Amino acid sequence: MRLSVLDQSPISEGFTGADALRNTVDLAKLADRLGYHRYWVAEHHGTPMLACASPEALIGPIAATTSRIRVGSGGVMLPHYSPLKVAETFSMFAGLFGDRIDLAVGRAPGTDPTTMFALQRDRRQASPDDFPEQLAELLGYLGGTLPREHPFARLAALPGGPGRPDPWLLGSSPQSGVWAAECGLPYAFADFINPSGADYAAHYRTTFTPSRWRSQPETLVAVWVVCADSDEEARRLAASSVMSFRLLQRGQLIPVPPVEKAIAFLDADGPRASHGLPMRTRRRVVGSPARVKSGLEDVAREYQADELMIVTITFDHEARRRSYELIADAFALRS
């Protein structure tokens, strides 16, 4: 089973977005050496917790400083962009870095409605909800399959040709799996957002239509993980992101807090405190290498996944590096 990395470029309290971005490049180089299969960077806007608002701004530096690992977006939030612009940008990456480039796209805005509106070029009205049409146009550019009568057919000669990125569809809901199956695309499911996706993945596999992109269905599952030398230390480290997410559910956006501050908050807040708001549960695989390995294998079996992508947020960058090192050793990636 392949293991990969999804990096959301977390900003720790007392540090800057620039620090977080440099940490992302540093972690990518480590993941390359450790034997992880791919390294994706996410897109989020308007939050003090996550620094990467533009995956394409990080993909180039990461690909330039690594040698083996696949590099891509996890993902580009397509409703914000012109499909042609996305196709051209990732075509250039493929021209520079060959067949190491992935283009995973999603329908979610990656932000709140106000910030989404601010991202629009034309603000006279809200953008239409036309994701299927956007996706079809994007795939037409990438595959050179726009019909001759299409008004943009002549634009399919992309600047980085003949290289093309490998397209993926992201999702955390049933509809994304339906689209991935219809288009014959590999499917990346965000279990760290919605841990109830095994049925969606099963439906994707049974309804998959072969395409130029894949002859068989391919499922990647992104899982929230913290690994440390002991179960106790892993639980301590995980407190920072648990506090961040609990406050996010209440509409409070904060940088990743220090461990002791997070533990004190969670102790005072109580294990089931909701403040009258609906509670969303998330799967967390937390513990020593043996416990994490077992937990990840359970997730892979549940989804019948071809690949797991690990999402780790800790206050301390060295602890995050250590987590990925321990997992790589547990799965013998370097061998």
Residue-wise pLDDT for 257-271, tens only, equals 999 999 999 999 976
- pLDDT score recorded for residue 293: 98
3-state secondary structure 163-178: CCCEEEEEECCHHHHH
Whether residue 20 is predicted with pLDDT greater than 60 in this model: the reply is yes
Whether residue 126 is predicted with pLDDT greater than 90 in this model: the reply is no
Q: Which two tokens stand for residue 193?
A: 């957002």
- Helix axis angle, 231-249 to 259-269, nearest 10°: 70
What is the overall mean pLDDT for the chain?
Answer: 93
- pLDDT score recorded for residue 280: 60
16: how many CB neighbours lie within 10 A of its CB?
A: 12
- pLDDT score recorded for residue 259: 98
Q: How confident is the model at residue 110 (pLDDT cuts 50, 70, 90)?
A: low
Q: Which structural domains are found in the chain, ordered by start?
A: 2-330 (3.20.20.30)
- pLDDT score recorded for residue 197: 96
Measured distance CA(319)–CA(263) in Å, rounded: 16
- pLDDT score recorded for residue 124: 78
Whether residue 274 is predicted with pLDDT greater than 60 in this model: the reply is no
- pLDDT score recorded for residue 272: 59
Contact 84, 141 (CB under 8 A): yes
CA distances from 328 to 73, 112, 136, 322 (A): 22, 35, 37, 10
- Helix axis angle, 198-207 to 289-303, nearest 10°: 40
pLDDT digits (tens, 9 = 90+) for 186-234: 999 999 999 999 999 999 999 999 999 999 999 999 999 999 999 999 9
pLDDT digits (tens, 9 = 90+) for 41-55: 999 998 999 999 999
Whether residue 130 is predicted with pLDDT greater than 60 in this model: the reply is yes
- pLDDT score recorded for residue 225: 98
Q: What percent of the chain has pLDDT over 90?
A: 82
251: how many CB neighbours lie within 10 A of its CB?
A: 8
Asked which of 71-80, 105-114, 240-249, 305-314 is least confident by mean pLDDT, the reply is 105-114
- pLDDT score recorded for residue 277: 46
12, β-bridge pairs: 256
Nearest alpha-carbon partner for 309 in 196, 205, 214, 191: 191
- pLDDT score recorded for residue 118: 81
Whether residue 273 is predicted with pLDDT greater than 60 in this model: the reply is no
Contact 164, 170 (CB under 8 A): no
Cα distance from N-terminal residue to C-terminal residue, the chain: 13
> What backbone torsions phi and psi does residue 320 show, to the nearest 5 degrees?
-65, -45
